[in-house]
Amino acid sequence: MRTKITVALTGLNNTDNPGPGVPVIRGIRESEAFDPRIIGLAYENMEPAIFMDGMVDKTYQVPYPSEGSDVLVNRILEIHQKDPIDVLIPNFDAELYAFMRSEQVLEKAGIKTFLPTLEQFEERHKADLPDFGKKYNLTVPFSKPITRLNEIADLEDDFEYPLMVKGKFYDAYLAYNEEQVRMHYNKISAKWGVPVIIQEFIKGTEVNVVALGDGKGNTIGAVPMRKQYITDKGKAWSGITLDDQRMLDLTRRIIKTMQWRGGMELELMKSHTNELYIIEINPRIPAWVYLAVGAGQNIPEALLKLAIGMEVEPFRDYRVGKMFIRYSYDLITDLTAFEKLSILGEL
Amino acid sequence: MQLKKNIALSNSGFVFNPTTGDSYSINQVGREILGYLSENKSLKEITVLMTARYEIDTPSFEKYYFDFISMLRQFELLEDEHEN
């Protein structure tokens, strides 16, 4: 007997820079524990999952977090009044702050979440990575947040070129000289604001872990992956699960010491000397999470169970050598669907 | 010289290192040698087997063997540095 549950989630942008919405929905739909009704929360009216068959049962447009946390949360509460939500799964870094801050308000209204605490969210920020590394005795590349263009000239005092120029939420570019840093700084700061993070470039192989912490120090699931094909946006277009005990040990150590609550993506660089550098800790499920589902760890389902207070046994293993390969697909839909969403804000 | 225990070696000559995610394709002779390494055979044993099977003298085989081994080491497919 599967439990009926209504899940609202974001990240429906299944584009060349995909959000995690679609893979999270697929994991939940494949659950043997739940009979889900999926409410898609769309920021843009052409996010593919809105129109894809078998994904969302209903879509509501929501305002960007940049319009104000309260505006976003009030819209969620408004949706909840006419279409009750059991669990909300935010899938973007930029919106997490609003939902973490409003966790009590949402809970009071009857909407459950399973998010990191504000403290956990803050301390793993890219801009604070060196302090984070020091605090937890983890190897991280040297980095420095900058907020003004005139700081770029002094970067050569602290860094050797090439170096990485990163946005506080998304985007990362390799820069070989001051001029390129300036160009990337302007592009990133216009999109994501400041600080822009300058990070030491570590040459090696990019590997990632998708993980889920129960907030009590236990790792419920963890699957390491190596990107096999990377797009020009730096996104994995294909990947393969790895059997790397050091990556798993590192993940468990981080989740235990931070008492991490919720989904997490650990971005690591394995240097040529086989040292693991923590490049980023993303405070949410990544867009490649369906690989973990395919390898035997349904992390979206486990997160849902934790959100509603069910006991979840940690996953013991996963299949090594499982691959994912993304593809693009032309979906044909009617103007009426687009029109309805544009005019009414729901579909 | 020993192949790492978790290295997957298929009959078709496909080699997969699950720790790094790297995969390689090797020919029949390479596959045979990897098979012997995974059975923990020594250089001496492998040399006897290979020189009996193929028309090659011991010094020539060892030259190619050590070339092959250094490539395996570079690709991090070997367990340790000790020859048995």
* A228/B20 Cβ within 8 A: no
d(CA A58, CA A67): 23
B20 contacts A226? CB cut-off 8 A: yes
Amino acid at A346: E
Alpha helix stretches (DSSP H) within chain A: 21-29, 69-82, 93-101, 103-109, 118-123, 129-136, 155-158, 178-192, 245-258, 289-294, 299-307, 335-344
* pLDDT for position B83: 45
pLDDT score at B80: 66
User: What are the residue boundaries of the structural domains of chain B, listed by start?
Assistant: 8-74
- pTM, full prediction: 0.88
B13-30 tens-digit pLDDT: 999 999 999 999 999 999
Q: Where in chain A is the domain with CATH 3.30.1490.20?
A: 142-200
Whether the Cβ atoms of residue A73 and residue A98 lie closer than 8 Å to each other: yes
- Contact: A321, B8; criterion CB under 8 Å: yes
SS3 A263: strand
**B18–A228: do the CB atoms touch at under 8 Å?**
no
CB-nearest to B6 from A207, A225, A243 is A243
Name the residue of chain B whose CA is nearest to A227's CA.
B21
Helix (H) or strand (E) holding B66: helix B58-74
**Residue whose entry in the numeric block shows the structure tokens 């893979």:** A23
The fold of A142-200 is: Dna Ligase; domain 1 (3.30.1490)
- The pLDDT, as a whole number, for residue A128 is 82
Q: Number of A:B CB contacts under 8 A?
A: 23
For A223-255, b where at least 16 C-beta lie within 10 A, e where not — what string? bbbbbbeeeeeebbbbbbbbbbeebbebbbebb
**How sure is the predictor about B81, in pLDDT bands with cuts at 50, 70 and 90?**
low
Cβ contact A207:A271 at 8 Å: no
Q: What is the model's pLDDT at position B21?
A: 93
B18 and A226 in contact by Cβ < 8 A? Answer: no
Considering chain A, tell me which residue range(s) the CATH 3.40.50.20 domain(s) occupy: 3-114+330-344
- Shortest CA distance from B74: residue in chain A: A272
Query: Is ipTM strictly over 0.90?
Result: no
Tens of pLDDT, residue by residue over A234-259, are 888 999 999 999 999 999 999 999 99
The parts of chain A modelled with pLDDT lower than 50 are: none
Under CATH, which number does the domain A3-114+330-344 receive? 3.40.50.20
Nearest C-alpha of chain A: how many angstroms from B73? 14
Strands A276-282 and A323-325: unpaired
pLDDT at A245: 94
How many of the other CB atoms lie within 10 Å of CB of A100?
A: 22
Among chain A, residues having any CB pair with chain B shorter than 8 Å are: 205, 207, 225-226, 228, 240, 242-244, 270, 320-321
Contacts of A243 in chain B (CB under 8 A): 6, 18-19
Q: Are A4 and A37 in contact (CB under 8 A)?
A: yes
Residues in A closer than 8 angstroms to B6, CB to CB, are 243, 320
Least Cα separation, residue A317 to chain B (angstroms) = 14
Residue of A205, A270, A321 lying closest to B18 (CB–CB): A321
Q: How many CB atoms lie within 10 A of CB A127?
A: 20
- CA dist A210 to A63, A262, B22, B50, Å? 28, 11, 20, 45
CB distance A244–B16 less than 8 Å? Answer: no
Mean pLDDT for chain A overall: 93
Contact yes or no for B18 and A205 at CB 8 A: no
Interval A172-204: pLDDT, tens: 899 999 999 999 999 999 988 889 999 999 999
pLDDT in tens, B32-73: 999 999 898 999 999 999 999 999 999 999 999 999 999 999
Residues of chain B positioned with their CB less than 8 A from the CB of A244 = 18-20
- Do the Cβ atoms of A240 and B6 come within 8 Å? no
